[in-house]
Amino acid sequence: MSALKERYVNPLTDFGFKKLFGTEPNKALLIDFLNQILPDVHQIQDLKYAQNEQLGQNDLDRKAIFDLYCVGASGERFIVELQKAKQNYFKDRSIYYSSFPIQEQAQKGSWNYKLEPVYTVGILDFVFDDHKEDAEVIHFVELKNQRCEVFYDKLKFIYIELPKFRKSEEELESHFDKWLFVFKHLSELQNRPAKLQDKIFKKLFESAEIATFTPEERMAYEESLKYYRDLQNVVDTSREEGREEGREEGRQEGREEGRQEGRAEEKYDIALKLKQVGMPTEKIAEITGLTKEQIDRL
Residues for the chain: how many in total?
298
Q: What integer pLDDT is reported at residue 87 of this predicted model?
A: 77
Q: How far apart are the first and last CA of the chain?
A: 33
Q: Which of 184, 212, 240 is a domain's end point?
A: 212
pLDDT in tens, 27-45: 999 999 999 999 888 899 9
Q: What integer pLDDT is reported at residue 290 of this predicted model?
A: 84
- Say how many domains are in the chain: 2
Pairing of strands 150-161, 68-72: unpaired
pLDDT in tens, 195-206: 999 999 999 999
CA distance 12 to 231: 12
Treating both helix axes as pointing N-terminal to C-terminal, what angle do 281-288 and 256-276 enclose, rounded to 10 degrees? 160
Q: What is the pTM of this model?
A: 0.78
Longest dimension (CA), the chain: 66
Q: What integer pLDDT is reported at residue 59 of this predicted model?
A: 44
Q: Do 239 and 286 reside in the same domain of the chain? A: yes
CA distance 259 to 254: 9
Q: Do 202 and 224 reside in the same domain of the chain? A: no
DSSP state of 36: T
Pairing of strands 118-124, 64-65: unpaired
% of the chain with per-residue pLDDT over 90: 59
Q: Do 63 and 184 reside in the same domain of the chain? A: yes
Residue 18 lies in a domain: yes
Where the chain has pLDDT below 70, the residues are 1-3, 52-65, 235-264
Q: Which of 183, 212, 241 is a domain's end point?
A: 212
Strand partners, 209: 8
Q: Do 109 and 246 reside in the same domain of the chain? A: no
pLDDT in tens, 73-86: 989 999 999 998 87
Residue 1 lies in a domain: no
Q: What integer pLDDT is reported at residue 61 of this predicted model?
A: 47
Q: For residue 29, give the nearest of 174, 208, 204, 210 by alpha carbon.
A: 204
Residue 256 lies in a domain: yes
CA distance 240 to 242: 5
Q: Which of 178, 212, 246 is a domain's end point?
A: 212
Q: What integer pLDDT is reported at residue 60 of this predicted model?
A: 39
pLDDT in tens, 96-138: 999 999 999 999 889 999 999 999 999 999 999 888 888 899 9
Distances (CA, A) of 199 to 196, 211, 223: 9, 21, 30
Residue 252 lies in a domain: yes
CA distance 181 to 196: 10
Q: What residue numbers bound the domain in which 42 lies? A: 14-212
The answer to whether the CB of 121 falls within 8 A of the CB of 69 is no
| Side-chain-side CA neighbours of residue 147 (13 Å) | 2
Q: Do 268 and 146 reside in the same domain of the chain? A: no
CA distance 221 to 19: 9
Q: What integer pLDDT is reported at residue 236 of this predicted model?
A: 67
DSSP per-residue codes, 133-148: T---SEEEEEEE-TTS
Pairing of strands 53-54, 68-72: unpaired
The three-state secondary structure class of 151 is strand
Q: What integer pLDDT is reported at residue 272 of this predicted model?
A: 81
Q: What is the mean pLDDT of the chain?
A: 86
The three-state secondary structure class of 48 is strand
Q: Do 189 and 233 reside in the same domain of the chain? A: no
